[in-house]
Structure 1
Amino acid sequence: MNKKDFRVKQISALKEFSTDNRKMESKQILDSLFQSESWKSAQTVATTLSDDLEFDTKPVIQQAQLENKTIVVPRTTIAGRKMFFNALTANTRLERTKFGILEPVGEDTVEPEQIDLIVVPGLGFETKTGFRVGFGAGYYDRYLADYNGKTVGLALTPQLLEKPEWPVDGFDIDLEQIISKDGVVYEK
């Protein structure tokens, strides 16, 4: 199956995943994340500002703030399809992009070497080698190609696969860890 068709399939599966199961699994996943060594040792955590379809990152942001961690969120450029991370504070101004994604406004970029852990979004996570398929723009794969910190994917049941159902390309970057309701299901 090509990536485009796989994404359509995954979006449908996530829309059909019950709210009760999503809440239950999300709690279990977050408990495992917050107990992980990657989380505990991280001072700066990167995550998305999730939409309704994605894994809800509000609790990740709230827990990071409770623990006095710096939280950074992505900002993208259309030209060159580049992604940067900006600190998320009470004073951060957010705007919706033409794709409907909330992003910080401004050039206050946090350098990759300052980020200890990136919670990487995805539609599907493969548990044998840590590959993922995202939403199709390639921003994360380009960013992760030059990133040396820790990476983790948070995967609900419909997002977990034992082998990729999509073609893994040479530019796809594998994650270091994938966490599901059953805890860590992949670790490099």
Structure 2
Amino acid sequence: MDNNAAPEPFSPGESQASRAAQKAAWRQQLIDQRQRMDDRIWRSEQLQRVMRVWLISRPDAVIGAYWPIKGEFDPLPALFRWQEAGREEDAKGAARHRRIGLPVVNKVDKTLTFYTWYPGCPMEEDAYGIPKPKDTEIIQPTLLFVPCVGYAPGGYRLGYGGGFYDRTLAALRPKPFTVGLGFTDGFLPDLEPEPHDVPLDAILNDNGVVWPLT
């Protein structure tokens, strides 16, 4: 398979099983492609800038994110700068203390709980081998940055297939504003949503805001 080739589209009349197989193929192709990116540093710097500019107009004080795996974009440097800017505003009495949370999987109901993260905080591996904050405070984000393996028109996301974010967002009240993060190569124009899919509120990539359309 050519890792730089466009993913094959769905065919008319496909069964649920064949659609699942197509999604699995897309995932593998996009993850392999992402892990072999020659211009990762440049693309990451561009997306860091997009995030920082986008966050300027947001009122949130508690943001959930993720620890990057499998070549994902790392949102934490931009969020740390967002947090530091909040501390500078706090000193002037103009802003609330800003907090960042990373997800921890609940083994029983397969949902995510967000624990406070800060640079240098104690970390340990979860059941999936992903670093998570150790013994920090549970927080509920009003804004949630979500990693995208792929993304599609209408704000739809292709994830890893575990359904963790879908279950978490169905349970959280109030529901946080959701923002997908991914590289330009993750765009899937032929990904069609299924009945249970809920679109993201926004999607950012290294070119800028790709959803909602303006």
Measured against the shorter chain, the TM-score band is: 0.7 to 0.9
**Which gives a bigger RCO, structure 1 or 2 (Cα 8 Å, sep 6+)?**
1
TM-score (norm 1): 0.83
What amino acid sits opposite 1:122 in the alignment? C
2-structure distance, mates of 1:107, 1:138: 25
The CA distance in 2 between the partners of 1:141 and 1:86, in whole Å, is 18
Check whether the contact 1:117–1:150 (CA below 8 A) recurs between aligned residues: yes
* RMSD across aligned positions (CA): 2.3
Equivalent in the alignment of 1:155: 182
Question: How much does 1:51 deviate?
Answer: 2.5
**Structure 2 counterpart of 1:163, one-letter code:** D
Q: Residue in 1 aligned with 2:159?
A: 134
Matched, 1:86 2:115: yes
Name the TM-score, length of structure 2 as normaliser. 0.74
Contact 2:117 2:136 in 1 (8 A): no
Instruction: Structure 2 unaligned segments of length 5 or more: list them.
Output: 1-18, 87-97
Is the CA contact (8 Å cut-off) linking 2:183 and 2:206 kept in structure 1? Answer: yes
Q: Deviations over 1:95-128 (max 9, x none)?
A: 11232111123483213xxx221110120011x2
Q: Give aligned pairs, total.
A: 180
Question: 1:180: which partner in 2?
Answer: 205
Asked if 1:118 is matched to 2:144, the reply is yes
- Deviation of 1:89 after TM superposition, in Å, equals 3.6
Deviation above 4 Å: which 4+ runs of structure 1?
A: none
1:95 matched residue in structure 2: 124
In percent, how many aligned pairs have the same letter? 24
SS of the residue corresponding to residue 147 of structure 2 reads coil
1:125–1:131 Cα contact (<8 Å) kept: yes
In structure 2, the residue matched to 1:45 is 63
The match for 1:17 is 37
Cα pair distance change 1:82/1:149, threshold 3 Å:
closer
Contact 1:83–1:139 (CA<8 Å) still a contact in 2? yes
Equivalences for residues 58-97 of structure 1 within 5 A: 58-68=76-86, 69-89=98-118, 92-97=121-126
Matched, 1:34 2:52: yes
Q: Report the AA paired with residue 10 of structure 1.
A: L
Structure-2 residue corresponding to 1:4: 24
Counterparts of 1:107 and 1:171, CA distance in 2: 33
Inter-partner Cα distance in structure 1 for 2:56 and 2:201: 10
The AA in structure 1 aligned to 2:144 is: I
Question: Structure 1: 5+ residue runs without aligned partners?
Answer: none
What is the CA–CA distance in structure 2 between the aligned matches of 1:8 and 1:15, rounded to whole Å? 11
